[in-house]
Amino acid sequence: MTKSNEVLRTPDRGRGVIARYREYLPVSESTPIISLGEGGTPLIFSSRLSAIVGRGCEVYLKYEGLNPTCSFKDRGMTLAVSKAVECGTVAVICASTGNTSASAAAYAARAGIRCAVVLPAGKIASGKLLQAFAYGAKVVAIDGNFDDALLVVRALGRRDDFAIVNSINPDRISGQKTAAFEIVDDLGDAPDFHLLPLGNAGNITAYWAGYREYRDAGNCTSLPAMLGFQAAGAAPMFHGRVVENPETIASAIRIGNPASWEAAQRAVQDSRGAVDIVTDNEILEAQRWLATHEGIFVEPASAAPIAGLFNCCEPVRGPVYPFTQIREGSRIVCTVTGHGLKDPEVMVDRATKLTAVAPNEQEVLRAIGF
């Protein structure tokens, strides 16, 4: 190990991203701030991932599962709901693969306004669905996928009754760009590479906007290459065409027609990055690796960039972004977007294999098996 497993985190965790970065956000004195203390998440140095990449590279994990509703969505939701309340909106609506709905429901509850979420029936991880109910949202399941749900929500958003809080709302993107600010604040400059999962493509768009804005403000000198990872069965940007029936275990990114496709494509091109794919098996392997080697339990979608990083180091598979293009001494940040407890189903098999033993020292020792 070249360096201890340091955790970088700015001291003002808990203030919320609007309070911390308001000069970069579209708020004024009259904007009511609806916050749950989101942002300020740790940037964790991983000595083991750094050693796997080798050649003096440093790998950091931006642990977004530690936001109030346990995903990165809270950064954008605080702003989208604050602006909605400022405009006198009485109800917000979104389509979701789960995390946006959990976040919208929580911030709407905090604001004292109504929330409706439109979800693909049977396709939402149980923890996320439970959150939407717990926060009191009106939950509607549709017989269709996320892309169908977003079409319905776009149509409903044309009425006066609802403000859409999907990432097609620019306030969501504005709020989410604060994650890039935090990374620069923690590292002292931008990283060389930024890896993240790619679903509806809002987050990669937001990070790229954040890095550029921070550079223009003189807070960093360089910009990272943006590398987005889609699941092999839900990879419209990788293939360059809409996927009618996206399928992956990583339900958060089971999306066939991303709303921010064009903006994300520009981010990838302008940053000289890439879009690549990872298989469901690679995702599950990476999820397990991260939990058992770093103590960081993420949901499957969040493991996609870790799987992608492993592939970058594995020239035989021929990833879009081979290891040889990662310069010596590079600083690499992977955003892990959501907490593993949101999607317990993928772990249940192992957890339920537990059989009880007699309550004595010998039996328990035997069961430990060290």
Interface pick for ligand F0G out of 16, 199, 210, 308 (rule CB under 6 A): 199
Q: Is residue 203 near ligand F0G by the rule CB under 6 A?
A: yes
The residue among 147 and 192 lying less far from ligand F0G, judged by its C-beta, is 147
Q: Which residues contact 4 (CB under 8 A, 6 or more apart)?
A: 45, 47
Contact status, residue 291 vs residue 343, Cβ threshold 8 Å: no
DSSP state of 318: -
Interface pick for ligand F0G out of 67, 96, 178, 271 (rule CB under 6 A): 96
Q: 60-86 in b/e burial notation, b at 16+ Cβ within 10 A?
A: bbbbbbbbbbbbbbbbbbbbbbbbbbb
Least separation in angstroms between residue 71's CB and ligand F0G is 5
The residue among 192 and 343 lying less far from ligand F0G, judged by its C-beta, is 343
Least separation in angstroms between residue 16's CB and ligand F0G is 20
The residue among 82 and 97 lying less far from ligand F0G, judged by its C-beta, is 97
Least separation in angstroms between residue 201's CB and ligand F0G is 5
Q: Which residues contact 276 (CB under 8 A, 6 or more apart)?
A: 227, 228, 229, 230, 238, 308, 311, 319, 320, 321
Site string for ligand F0G, 109-148 (x = CB under 6 A): ----------------------------------------
The residue among 38 and 58 lying less far from ligand F0G, judged by its C-beta, is 38
Contact status, residue 38 vs residue 75, Cβ threshold 8 Å: yes
Site string for ligand F0G, 45-74 (x = CB under 6 A): --------------------------x-x-
- Interface residues with ligand F0G (CB under 6 A) are 71, 73, 96-100, 167, 197-203, 252-253, 299, 301-302, 337-338
